[in-house]
Chain A
Amino acid sequence: MSARSNLRVAVPKGTIFEDALRALEGAGLSVGVLREDGRKLFYESPGTEFIVGRPSDVPVYVEYGAADVGIAGKDVLEEQEPNVVELKDLGTGGCRMILAAPADKAAGVRQAIGHAEVVRVATKYPRTARRYFEGMGRQAEIIELRGSIELAPLVGLADCIVDLTATGTTLRENDLVVLDEISTSTARLIANRGAYRLRNREVAALVDAMEKSVSPLG
């Protein structure tokens, strides 16, 4: 790998893509190219290069230095614990990490957890789920799934789920109720450890510019 002259930014596709673009645009980066052709994975614009990747891959690009900075949800950062510098809360993409169970079994699950019985939890976030249960001194059998977590308790694969929710619509549609809120999450600007120091002028300027254009929820 050789040194780059332009700052390289990793942008997550999916639900926080537009918010991420707005934050970068507000900071003065020319993100127009990313809106033109939705199928490309790598874009160049004057002064900046962009990588578009899965939200959970953004921290990997940044940790390994394939991108200098990136935008990632706090939920992803808590799950992966990448060795990156967390610079700024963008305040967008707000969502909650929750523990939920089917409405008709909620009381039973609550009781089981209360009595330190082993409950079965389906989740896309195994480390977050494990930390949550260990933190309470409770035991859980964690089943990692890649999608449609809501299905697991309905078909008897798990007693409850640990998942991310923004509006709660999917939970309601599947008749799941929230038992506990584990954490809240917003989008963060992250930087590679080397890039943060070697290109500090550019990175700090980006943080400052975002500071002026976005107002975090607090």
Chain B
Amino acid sequence: MKQRMPRKFATTPGTRDVLPPESTRLFDVQARIRERFRLFGYGEVFTPALEYSEVIEEPKLRDASFKLFDPDNQMVMLRPEMTTPIARLVAQRLKNFPPPHKLSYVLPVYRRASVGRGQSAELYQAGVEVVGSPSPQEDAATIALLVDVLNALDLEAPGDFAVVLGHIAFYEAYLRHVAPEAATALLAALAAKDLVRVDVLAGGLPDEIATGVRGIPRLVGPATEGGVLEEAARLAAGAPEASMALENLREILRHLDAHGCLGTVILDLGLTGRHNYYTGAVFEAYAAGLGFTIANGGRYDNLLKRFGQDLPATGFAVYLERLLSVLPEEGASTLLVLVGGGLGGTKAATALRKRGVPTLHLPEDLEPHAAARYASAVDAGWVCYPTPEGVKLAASTPDARFEAVGIEDAAERVLGRAPQGVRR
């Protein structure tokens, strides 16, 4: 009789098991990112997956989070993001340490996914937060770090990706100055990315104001060309706080130029960032051919107040699964499957590993055909059989020919053909 698999032996909607080679790639990318974060002086932290529900204030994130109750019958949430938990951590644990605090993380976050929308409920993020500095230099430095991370993963701007940079204080200050009554509705329309609604609302304002209200959110262009900033300055002339925000943006761009990554930046003065806690420069990274952001971030100077510390801050998070989907393919795997050979096989495996070759040693004496099948199942690039002088080596491709080579030679071929890297 056919046995029926209970439905609850699957994983819950939006979650999945991750197997090699995908998991290997994910770990490789994480390692590469950690290396870059350390190079820029960040200290890695991790926080509990569970937070008190009160910690997260953003309505969208609260709605999207998984909730449960702790032993004291308090509502807790699986963290839907990392910025707020790190703000809490800084306020509670680092009170007596001198700012700025430069912290990084590589952790999963959890959000309820809608069925049929291709969304994950468990998302891997890697990110940094700089807490305790209001300097535009830090805004630029975090963006430069993001660009450095993407470059380290072989993505090059402008062909592969771009960082879109906006400044929410600019448009907001301009609106509060020229049209204070309409400001709230206009900002809500812009947050919903509804430029048609912005146009309609602007229609109710005097002509000279309507031009700026309509025009500013549609200003988009490369940061290397001065057009966007000039036009913004012209439209917002006479609104002093808007001019301050614009000067802040200019200062960030000067530092980005010094970092050598101005060419990766597209300015968009209609970009508001996805969270309410942003207060200044906001940015999103897009990869060519992917409709979603691969990273986003920005300045949030008021979030720490909630936790009793008045510290300005900025940071970003990279979505690792989305990032993986756009990384260029790399060469074949350096994993070598060494088949059988008894004691001789063990000696050969030890000799290969000593030379840095990842070696999977099978005790069974498989036929070449079965060995190739096994190698492809474990995503190995090479197969070999031990010989008294060394090994018989072949790439794990169909109809590859075995060649007798010494151990030294084998190591060189395996490692030489595929340099260490992220594989697809």
Partners in one complex: yes
A residues with CB within 8 A of B: 1-4, 62-66, 83-89, 188, 192-198, 200, 204
Q: How far is the CB of A143 from chain B (nearest CB, A)?
A: 20
A157 to chain B, nearest CB (A): 25
Query: Can you identify 25 A-B contacts, CB atoms within 8 angstroms?
Result: A1-B290, A2-B288, A3-B159, A3-B288, A3-B289, A4-B289, A65-B289, A65-B291, A65-B292, A66-B291, A86-B192, A86-B194, A87-B196, A88-B195, A193-B286, A193-B293, A194-B286, A194-B290, A194-B292, A194-B293, A196-B220, A197-B268, A197-B286, A198-B162, A204-B218
- The reply to whether B289 and A197 form a contact with Cβ atoms under 8 Å apart is no
B164 adjacent to A197 (CB under 8 Å): yes
CA A188 to CA B193, docked complex, whole Å: 13
CB distance from B153 to the nearest CB of A (A): 17
Minimum Cβ distance to chain B for residue A86 (Å): 4
Hey, what's the 0/1 contact readout for B289-327 against A, CB within 8 Å counting as 1?
A: 111110000000000000000000000000000000100
Chain B, Cβ-Cβ closest to A4: B289
The proximity string for B residues 254-289 relative to A, scoring 1 for CB distances below 8 Å and 0 otherwise, is 000000000000101000000000000000101111
Closest residue of chain A to B326, judged by CB?
A1
Known: A86-B195, A86-B197, A87-B196. A197 touches B220 (CB 8 A): yes
Chain A residues, CB < 8 A from B48:
none
Instruction: Report the minimum CB–CB distance from A193 to chain B (whole Å).
Output: 7
Chain A residues with CB under 8 Å of B221's CB are 200
Q: Which residues of A contact B192 (CB under 8 A)?
A: 86
- Bound-state CA distance A200–B197 (Å) is 20
Output the least CB separation between B110 and chain A (Å): 19
B118 adjacent to chain A (CB < 8 Å): yes
A interface, by DSSP: helix, strand, loop or mixed?
mixed
Shortest CB-to-CB span from B229 to chain A, Å, is 15
> 10 tightest CB-CB pairs across the interface, nearest first?
A65-B291, A3-B288, A194-B286, A3-B289, A200-B220, A1-B289, A86-B194, A85-B193, A197-B164, A89-B196
Contacts of B289 in A (CB 8 A): 1-4, 65
Most chain B CB atoms below 10 A, which of A4, A85, A89, A194: A194
Measured between C-beta atoms, what is the minimum distance from B9 to chain A in Å? 30
In the bound complex, residues from chain B placing their C-beta under 8 Å from that of A3 are 159, 288-289
7 further A-B contacts with Cβ under 8 Å, apart from A87-B196, A196-B220, A197-B268, are A1-B325, A63-B291, A193-B193, A193-B293, A194-B286, A194-B293, A200-B268
Chain B residue numbers with a CB within 8 Å of A1 are 289-290, 325
Q: Are B288 and A198 in contact (CB under 8 A)?
A: yes
Report B129-173 CB contacts with A as 1/0, cut-off 8 Å.
000000000000000000000000000000100101000000000
Considering the complex, give the chain B residue whose CB is closest to the CB of A2: B289
Instruction: Determine the interface band of chain B, counting residues with CB < 8 A from chain A.
Output: 20 to 34
From residue A186, how far is it (CB to closest CB) to chain B in Å? 9
Verify B291–A193 contact, CB threshold 8 A: yes
Contacts A197-B162, A197-B286, A204-B218 given; indicate if A88 touches B196 (C-beta within 8 A): yes
Q: Give A192 to B288 CA distance when docked, in angstroms.
A: 12
A198 contacts B286, CB within 8 Å? yes
Main secondary structure of the interface of B (DSSP, over half): mixed
How many angstroms from the CA of A193 to the CA of B289 in the assembled complex?
Answer: 12
B197 closest partner in A (C-beta):
A86
Which residues of chain B are near A200, meaning CB under 8 Å? 220-221, 266, 268
- Chain A residues with Cβ below 8 Å from B197 are 86
- Report how far A144 CA is from B140 CA in the complex, Å: 49
Contacts of A88 in B (CB 8 A): 195-196
Nearest CB on A from B309, distance (A): 33
- Interchain CB contact (< 8 A) of A188 among B162, B196, B220, B284: B196
Q: Is the CB of B193 within 8 A of A86?
A: yes
| CB-defined contacts of B266 to chain A, threshold 8 Å | 197-198, 200
By the criterion CB–CB under 8 Å, are B196 and A86 in contact? yes
> How distant is the Cα of A108 from the Cα of B292 in the complex, in angstroms?
48
Distance (Å) between the CB of B272 and the closest chain A CB? 12
Q: Name the contact of A83 in the complex, choosing from B193, B199, B268, B288 (C-beta under 8 A).
A: B193
Q: Which of B197, B266, B288 has the most CB of A within 10 A?
A: B288
CA A121 to CA B382, docked complex, whole Å: 64
Asked if B291 and A192 make an inter-chain contact with CB atoms under 8 angstroms apart, the answer reads yes
Chain A neighbourhood of B196, CB < 8 A: 86-89, 188
- Please name all residues of chain A whose beta carbon is closer than 8 Å to the beta carbon of B194 when the two chains form the complex: 86
Q: How far is the CA of A87 from the CA of B118 in the complex (A)?
A: 25
Measured between beta carbons, the chain B residues less than 8 angstroms from A64 are 118, 291-292
A195 and B292 alpha carbons, distance in the complex (Å)? 10
Question: Is the pair A84, B193 in contact by a Cβ cutoff of 8 Å?
Answer: yes
Please give the distance in Å from B162's CB to the nearest CB on chain A.
6
Assembly CA distance A194 to B326 (angstroms): 14
Alpha-carbon distance between A86 and B287 when the two chains are bound, in angstroms: 21
Residues of B contacting A85 with CB < 8 Å?
A: 193, 195
Q: Using Cβ atoms and an 8 Å threshold, which residues of chain B touch A192?
A: 291
- Alpha-carbon distance between A85 and B221 when the two chains are bound, in angstroms: 16
Closest-CB distance, B363 to chain A (whole angstroms): 43
Task: Give every chain B residue within 8 A of A193 (Cβ-Cβ).
Answer: 193, 284, 286, 291-293
The complex places the Cα of A198 from the Cα of B221 at a distance, in Å, of 9
| List of A residues within 8 angstroms of B159 by Cβ | 3
Contacts of B199 in A (CB 8 A): 89
Kindly list chain A residues whose C-beta atoms are within 8 Å of the C-beta of B286. 193-194, 197-198
- Least CB distance, A164 to chain B, in whole angstroms: 18
Q: Which residues of B contact A63 (CB under 8 A)?
A: 291
Find residues 191-240 in chain B having any chain A CB closer than 8 Å to their own CB: 192-197, 199-200, 218, 220-221
